[in-house]
Amino acid sequence: MLRDKSLIPLSHQHQHSLAICVRLDRAIQAGEVDLEAWQAEIAQAFESEIDIHFAAEEKEIFPRAARLAELQGLVRELLLDHVTLRQLFARAGVRDLDRAALKDFGEKLAAHIRKEERQLFEGMQKHMDPEELGVMGLALERELATASRVCAAPSAATRLRGKHA
């Protein structure tokens, strides 16, 4: 299903986060994990975009979706995911993630994003009228105004080189 224009800003931010997850997975598979650099990048992404993204979802998306009986259970799951992910972001902020925890973080974040894109957004588009989606889109625009508009380039330490890229 084509993404409704009201949800596109969140989908773009999801792409930024999925790119981190993919790069992290590749680095782990290649055995090239600089724990300090990865945790710094993850913490920076949270501070510049993801924290605002989560807050916008919790304020504008989840309450609207929870009004739909078909999405109530999913919204509860996504809120619990936010709690878990915030804990992992906080651990990255104090450099408390080891290689296994970084792998777990990447897997959890990617699964959460896919759940939002494939289940929540699709369900909202199917069950909400275009006018309500438009109103939500304007509210999201205001909430996301403080988030970074560009995806930060990976640091040299986290970028894969050579044949692993």
Is residue 158 within 8 Å of residue 37, measured between CB atoms?
Answer: yes
- The pTM score is 0.86
CA–CA dist 137, 157 (Å, integer): 37
Query: Is 95's pLDDT higher than 50?
Result: yes
The full set of domains in the chain, from first to last, is: 8-146 (1.20.120)
Query: Is 163's pLDDT higher than 70?
Result: no
| Percent over 90 (pLDDT), the chain | 84
As a whole number, the mean pLDDT across the chain is 90
User: 110: which 2 tokens?
Assistant: 């990617």
Which residues are CB-contacts of 96 (< 8 A; sequence separation ≥ 6)?
none
With left for phi above 0 and alpha for psi between -120 and 50, is residue 32 left, alpha or beta? beta
pLDDT single digits (tens) 60-72: 999 999 999 999 9
Q: Identify the pLDDT of residue 157.
A: 52
pLDDT single digits (tens) 114-146: 999 999 999 999 999 999 999 999 999 999 886
Q: Identify the pLDDT of residue 1.
A: 72
CA–CA dist 47, 78 (Å, integer): 20
CA 114, distance to chain mean position in Å, is: 9
